[in-house]
Chain A
């Protein structure tokens, strides 16, 4: 197990290193930051001075070495736009995105499990088929358009919920959050719902398949033979069984929810990391883009690592295969 752990850790570091190189190289193609920073009427001397200040005049390999060295010390450069460390800019936006992603996660379970179980109990009924067809739509419809239609319906026509932005932020246990006020929650509902649609389609699929499988098991038959009510069988015997795969998959999907927040945050003008990324791309704020990508890569690698290690801990077959290979 220790050998596997070390191997797996080494792979993770390799992935981060490869991604860091790719990100660094890619950033060189994203326009010249001097164009943004220098005033339009600046002459060549001023431009050179800016390039020198940013270290852009040095050879590529030297810049890369410097980038790696600083990155190892947690320094991914200063934002051109905000003139503060890029990591700080990201971290400042992180709570908003996490709040959104977690609320989305809760929504996707709240929508996905009941519908999935319902469809799994009656897979051949009109309702069951309808739910499954709906889940295909949830998978394939463009998320941002759904968000726009939600805005149109709830914010513009019905005037029930705000069209965008984040509610008033208060500090709870040192974490700035908007989830503890009515106004904050109101701002959270539509974006979280939009973000949750895709995942709830996924949860519906898993819950439906799980329910169908569990309902055929002998222990359900035995539970019925015990004289248990249908509610008890569904809410205890079935639900407890399907929660395991659902939670596993959603844990894996948390990373992709943070990434997908890029779209949702743009639609709802929600001040999170995703909106920051889009703004930074439009403003060519290189250090912030790099910091965002590096943080996302690290988050993904960590999530994958944890999941792999958990699997290996649970399933001895994985351990053996890896040890041999």
Chain B
């Protein structure tokens, strides 16, 4: 499948570029990479990055530099549902270690792995700014906060139901 944004998304790219002064379209790189990751399977392949470079008329290396710097860009395929559980200090004192262990047990994978059915990937991440509502994880666009084992069970069941 050739990497190509839909007409609607190309318009979105134009709208993003228009936020900056003339000739400063490189500033659109980070937002456009988000759009590309969402559009092309949740990760950035070399082909996707090259496509973004051509859209913004910059060198591919300028895209690789950025894509490898920021932690939200996935440089290899991930499961349909990416569990990004915070394990920094404030979450840790609120029990994030137990939550991570429980998710590992429930999904049968280690941190950094994807389930065999391709549904779930588990990652640990650094502080997401939800310290008062810990333990927590990011799931797609939103946060899941005040996690308990029961809540984790619910979230996994909701994801499975949606995938079917």
Q: Do A and B come from one complex?
A: no
